[in-house]
Amino acid sequence: MVIERKKKPFRWHVLVFLGPAIIVYTMIMILPLAETLRFSFFLRDTSTQVVSFAGLENYIKLFFDPYWAKPFLNSLWNNCYFFLIHMLVQNPIGILIAALLSMVHLPGRKLYRTAIFMPTLLSFVVVGFIWKLMLSPLWGVSKGLMKSVGVGSWYLPFLGKEETALTTLSLISVWQFIGIPMMLIYAALLSVPDEVIEAAECDGVTGISQFFRIKLVLILPTIGIISILTFVGNFNAFDLIYTTQGPLAGPNFSTDLLGTILYRTFYGQQLQPGDPNMGAAIATVMFFIILTGVAIYLFFIQRKLTRYEM
Amino acid sequence: MKHYLSSGIAASLLLGSASFAFAASELTIESWRNDDLSIWQETILPAFMKSHPDVKIRFSPTAPTQYNAALNAKLEGGTAGDLITCRPFDSSLDLYSKGYLKNLQGMATLDNFPDSAKGAWSTDDGSATFCVPMAAVIHGFIYNKDAFAEIGVEPPKTQAEFMAVLDKIKEDGNYIPMAMGTLDQWESATMGYQNIGPMYWKGEEGRKAIVAGTGKLTDDGWVKPFEVLADWGPYLGDGYEAQSYPDSQTLFTLGRAAIYPSGSWEIAGFNKDTDFELGAFRPPLPAEGDSCYISDHTDIGIGLNAASKNSEAAMKFLEWMGTEEFAELYSNAVPGFFSLSTHEISLTDPLADEFISWRKDCQSTNRSAAQIVSRGTPNLWNEMWVVSANVINGKQTPADAANQLQKGLSAWYEPQMD
Amino acid sequence: MAISRARRNRMAELGAHIILLTFAMIALFPVLLILINSVKTKKAIFRQPLEFPTSETLDLVGYATVLQQGNFPLYFWNSLFVTGASLCLILLFGAMAAYALSEYKFRGNRLIGLYMALGIMIPIRLGTVGILRLMVATDLVNTHWALILVYTAQGLPLAIFILSEFMSTVSSDLKSAGRIDGLSEYSIFYRLVLPLIRPAMATVAVFSMIPIWNDLWFPLILAPAEHTKTLTLGAQVFVGQYSNNWNAILAAMALAVIPVLILYTLFSRQLIRGLTSGAVK
């Protein structure tokens, strides 16, 4: 770090470095978003179309009117579940794959890496379509495959059952995004200094125990970043549900996420007129939920993690 | 990295500055009917431009699921097309009252439409009409004639006969009795509840009673259709809970299902995709001798964007939509979408002709949640999707479903409050 | 290395291959299924979905339909250009800002850092109407620039967040040495710091690229015109139009996947080289 130099006049270069980012970001992201959030304090009279200041009315409705609160809490709960599945499935598998890939002299690793990263590059339109088709009872691919490995009787219309739809979609999302944790952890594992590994080997710490006791500890900050990115991504998720289950996130709202309820409220759907004011209120609440999660990470988890950094 | 970055930026600046100019003199139609893109491009618009060589016009559809959102954003931002395809009743009324659609009252050819058609795009007091009615669609059942002949069944007239036909097809085992899925939910509501319902709630009579607050959604006429739907499950394909709308269509067009509950809008696609003979029958009567009601839903109109810079040219197109030429052209180009004008037109498609012939014996009605009663939260139409699917999936009893609808409606709709 | 250990390693290697192969199969199978079925007749698609096309079931009608209707090469170019230009801007502006925030102490430093981080937490889609108005006012609607600017704004917060973490690992001795040699602050940034944080840049590039390439919403709102339509939007319109023409849809899907595959194969070597060569070894 450079120590503040006393006599130095205004440091223009700081401005030059920061300027472009701040300008683009403020103009195109912050101002429009602030404008939207401002909506949440207003109400539009549906018959006269007059917009008037309403204070916290939208928020009160969102939390206390059962016809808003119940769907909202439902989507919040679904979202937590969606996130949980990602943390329990995506990240451990990502670590496992990265660990295997980073084994010394593993031939063909480039092929594996490319293959596993592939789905990450596909658009939601393609992913939604592929999986809808794979799981479709009409096409029978998943049923046939399950039969061929002897579990044909386990087949269910997974996307159409309240009990299985959300889990299925979470796993599809894991399938799609597993490449990201894999890639980041792989890079982090490669950057573990050789001296550390050699020192561990001298102490007789090798193989699996070396991985858990040395490497995993060293890459914890990366895992932390991945977790927080997963959190933010999951709580903003919407496209996958929208393309596979439609705007009402069926069956019976069992796959409704914060993103889908927000979108539906803000822009409306078929005969439901869009309500930007209520939509903005939902967006604001979402923002605070995500902010809380990120704050917890920054102030409690990350501090502990960085202590181990090299 | 430096080199890579700077050359990248230079390249992007160069290419970006060649950004293409946007032709402004051309009219654009916003629509959700992307299925009809080629029909508009190849048949309807060329016909119009032939008689109006000074007007250029383009059909620009958005996927139905994104239409409302994209249109709203574009209207607010002022970039929406000149002509706006209107969904019936409240969603277009909302656009009109926000000032996005022009009042078309006084347009000459608007008189070629009956009040019942204009009603779908007029204010509650009828003082303004903001879209030119384009088409109605009629609900019913399409069936595979070859399959029926093979199994030896006749199109049913009553509910009892209908169930007997389903049983017989199921027994035969060669065909899935009905192609319908509940994944998209709206199939359950439109092709299920709204298809067979009018027979039970007596069409307009029942619908208007709900709007007026004199009838309730828990009345017999509204619960009965749910009870009928509850029996459908066993006759649908395996795993119908995960079957989407295109899946259902494919199931039927591949000749694997015998009956397809739906409506006239499928005709064009089915004619193209099937290699067996198609027939259609009306929703079954509850009992022999009951009077007949069909869902004859005013579905599509086109309005004028109030912010259009080419409103004069756009008006020419709207005027043309009220002519006999358009009615004839459109009804035959998109069989199954029936022109709403009063012109006497002949349909060349036999299946479309069959659908429209029901108007002679049956009274027409609109979808029950379309007008006024879907203006609040919870949204009645959305709720109808959800509970109809629940009932078919066996997740909710018919009485429960009706209760949920009534409770939701009475939560915000004054005439229905106790 | 001891002999027994070598044998154990061989066993472990075999195990690793089996596990990796399984995951690779899971990742690739659905995509392969699309590719295989895109060249079959409609009947064969539904009767034998898992079989490779034979001379009897081979049918390229889907591709014919797509190439006749869609303007896919142009859509692909649009996607490529928009994504590429956005990435350049995100990396450049993001690295500059991250450098300023982690290198210099000035009043409001932390505050600006937090301000930039806000953008990670709220979907930019919510600002659509405001953004659209801005683009209308600046006459950028239906240009590539509308999309590039939005994606740059959208990508910056995350880029700065990740890059700042890495910037702090660059040794300060190096920078001091540079200053003693009389290098300007700009040269220190470009010539000393940037090469060292290449792995982080590659990470940011991958992270930012995916949502941009796959975005459906902003192309729909800001640039729906034929000449600016992106691949994702084009594919979606197509799917809607041919909702049960399975040949055409599968072909469209395949055509949307193949360029990404090629792009990634080309790009992945760069990515991995970036990830590994600059690593803090």
The secondary structure of B341-388, three-state, reads CCCCCCCCCHHHHHHHHHHHHCEEECCCCCCCCCCCCCCHHHHHHHHH
Look at residue C107 in the predicted model and tell me its pLDDT: 83
Task: Inform me whether the pLDDT recorded for C232 exceeds 70.
Answer: yes
Look at residue B22 in the predicted model and tell me its pLDDT: 39
Q: Which C residues 88-147 touch A at CB under 8 Å?
A: 89, 92-94, 96-97, 99-101, 103-106, 112, 115-131, 134
Look at residue A23 in the predicted model and tell me its pLDDT: 94
Size of interface B-C (CB pairs under 8 A): 102
Look at residue C1 in the predicted model and tell me its pLDDT: 45
The position carrying tokens 């249109």 is B71
Task: Inform me whether the pLDDT recorded for A1 exceeds 60.
Answer: no
When pLDDT is cut at 50, 70 and 90, the band that residue C162 belongs to is confident
Whole-number Cα distances in Å, B280 to B112, B193, B226, B300, B354: 29, 18, 22, 22, 7
Which carries the bigger pLDDT value, residue B121 or residue A11? B121
* Chain C residues inside the 8 Å CB shell of A123: 213-214, 216, 231-232, 235, 256
Mean pLDDT of A187-211: 82
* Chain C residues inside the 8 Å CB shell of A39: none
CB B248 within 8 A of CB B176: no
Summarised one tens digit per residue, pLDDT across range A238-274 is 889 988 998 899 899 999 999 999 888 888 887 888 8
Summarised one tens digit per residue, pLDDT across range B350-372 is 999 999 999 999 999 999 998 89
When pLDDT is cut at 50, 70 and 90, the band that residue B415 belongs to is very high
Summarised one tens digit per residue, pLDDT across range B104-144 is 998 999 999 998 899 999 998 889 999 999 999 999 999 99
The position carrying tokens 């809008």 is B265
Sign of CA dihedral A270, A271, A277, A281: negative
Strands B27-31, B83-86: parallel, antiparallel or unpaired by DSSP? parallel
Q: Which of C96, C126, C247, C258 to mutate to test the interface with A (most CBs of A within 10 A)?
A: C126
Percent of chain B with pLDDT over 90: 75
Task: Inform me whether the pLDDT recorded for B383 exceeds 90.
Answer: yes
CB contact under 8 A, A130 and C253: yes
What's the mean per-residue pLDDT of chain C?
82
Look at residue C4 in the predicted model and tell me its pLDDT: 65
Report yes or no: A198 at the C interface, CB cutoff 8 Å.
no
Q: Which A residues 209-238 touch C at CB under 8 Å?
A: 221, 225, 229, 232, 236, 238
Report yes or no: C125 at the B interface, CB cutoff 8 Å.
no
CA proximity to A256, closest of A271, A269, A245, A267: A245
CB contact under 8 A, C136 and B269: no
- What tokens does C107 get? 């009043």
C-alpha angle A107/A108/A111, rounded to 5°? 165
Summarised one tens digit per residue, pLDDT across range A216-240 is 888 888 888 889 889 988 998 888 9
Report yes or no: A63 at the C interface, CB cutoff 8 Å.
no
C-alpha angle B375/B380/B386, rounded to 5°? 145
CA proximity to B184, closest of C190, A8, C243, C204: C243
Look at residue B17 in the predicted model and tell me its pLDDT: 36
d(CA B314, CA B55) in angstroms, rounded, equals 8
Q: Which amino acid is at A248?
A: L
Summarised one tens digit per residue, pLDDT across range B216-251 is 999 999 999 999 999 999 999 989 999 989 889 989
CB contact under 8 A, A136 and B243: yes
Look at residue B8 in the predicted model and tell me its pLDDT: 41
Report yes or no: A27 at the C interface, CB cutoff 8 Å.
yes
When pLDDT is cut at 50, 70 and 90, the band that residue C269 belongs to is low
Look at residue C271 in the predicted model and tell me its pLDDT: 66
Which chains sit next to A, with 3 or more Cβ pairs under 8 A?
Answer: B, C
CB contact under 8 A, A160 and B378: no
Prior bond of B378 cis (ω within 30°):
yes
Sign of CA dihedral B75, B80, B82, B83: negative
Look at residue B25 in the predicted model and tell me its pLDDT: 63
CA proximity to C79, closest of C281, C233, C192, C251: C233
CA proximity to B27, closest of B50, B54, B63, B55: B55
Q: Which of C145, C194, C239 sits opposite B2 (nearest CB)?
A: C194
Task: Inform me whether the pLDDT recorded for B68 exceeds 80.
Answer: yes
Stretch (H or E) spanning B301? strand B293-304
Report yes or no: A117 at the C interface, CB cutoff 8 Å.
yes
Q: What is the dihedral of CA B388, B394, B395, B399, to 10 degrees?
A: 60
d(CA B234, CA B403) in angstroms, rounded, equals 24
- Class of residue C206 by CB neighbours under 10 A (exposed 0-12, middle 13-18, buried 19+): buried
CB B308 within 8 A of CB B288: no
Mean pLDDT of A120-147: 85
What's the mean per-residue pLDDT of chain A?
86
* Chain C residues inside the 8 Å CB shell of A119: 27, 30-31
Q: Which residue of C has its CA nearest to A25?
A: C153
Three-class secondary structure of residue B399 per DSSP? helix
Mean pLDDT of B289-308: 94
Mean pLDDT of C103-120: 84
Look at residue C281 in the predicted model and tell me its pLDDT: 33
Instruction: Please report how the helices A91-101 and A109-117 are oriented relative to each other, as an axis angle in degrees rounded to 10.
Output: 160
Task: Inform me whether the pLDDT recorded for C169 exceeds 80.
Answer: no
CA proximity to B32, closest of B103, B81, B77, B101: B81
CB A181 within 8 A of CB A91: yes
Look at residue B401 in the predicted model and tell me its pLDDT: 97
* Chain A residues inside the 8 Å CB shell of C280: 191, 193, 310
Strands B57-61, B257-263: parallel, antiparallel or unpaired by DSSP? unpaired
Look at residue A177 in the predicted model and tell me its pLDDT: 92
CB C140 within 8 A of CB C149: yes
Which carries the bigger pLDDT value, residue B209 or residue A150? B209
Smallest CA–CA distance, residue B73 to chain C, in Å, is 6
Summarised one tens digit per residue, pLDDT across range C180-194 is 888 888 888 888 888
Output Rg (C-alpha) for chain A, integer angstroms.
24
Smallest CA–CA distance, residue B26 to chain C, in Å, is 12
When pLDDT is cut at 50, 70 and 90, the band that residue B3 belongs to is very low
Three-class secondary structure of residue B158 per DSSP? strand
Instruction: Please report how the helices C72-103 and C109-118 are oriented relative to each other, as an axis angle in degrees rounded to 10.
Output: 160
d(CA C278, CA A173) in angstroms, rounded, equals 31
Written in H, E and C, the secondary structure of A151-181 is: CHHHCCCHHHCCCCHHHHHHHHHHHHHCHHH
Q: Which of A112, A238, A287 sits opposite C24 (nearest CB)?
A: A112
* Chain C residues inside the 8 Å CB shell of A131: 30
d(CA B335, CA B269) in angstroms, rounded, equals 9
Look at residue A301 in the predicted model and tell me its pLDDT: 76
DSSP state of C122: S
Which range, A187-191, B178-182, C232-236, has the best average confidence (pLDDT)? B178-182
Look at residue A254 in the predicted model and tell me its pLDDT: 95
Look at residue C70 in the predicted model and tell me its pLDDT: 67
Sign of CA dihedral C53, C55, C60, C62: negative
Name every residue whose Cβ is closer than 8 Å to that of residue A179 and which is 6 or more positions away in sequence. A116, A117, A118, A119, A120, A121
Mean pLDDT of C109-118: 86
- What tokens does C57 get? 């079931």
d(CA A248, CA C252) in angstroms, rounded, equals 27
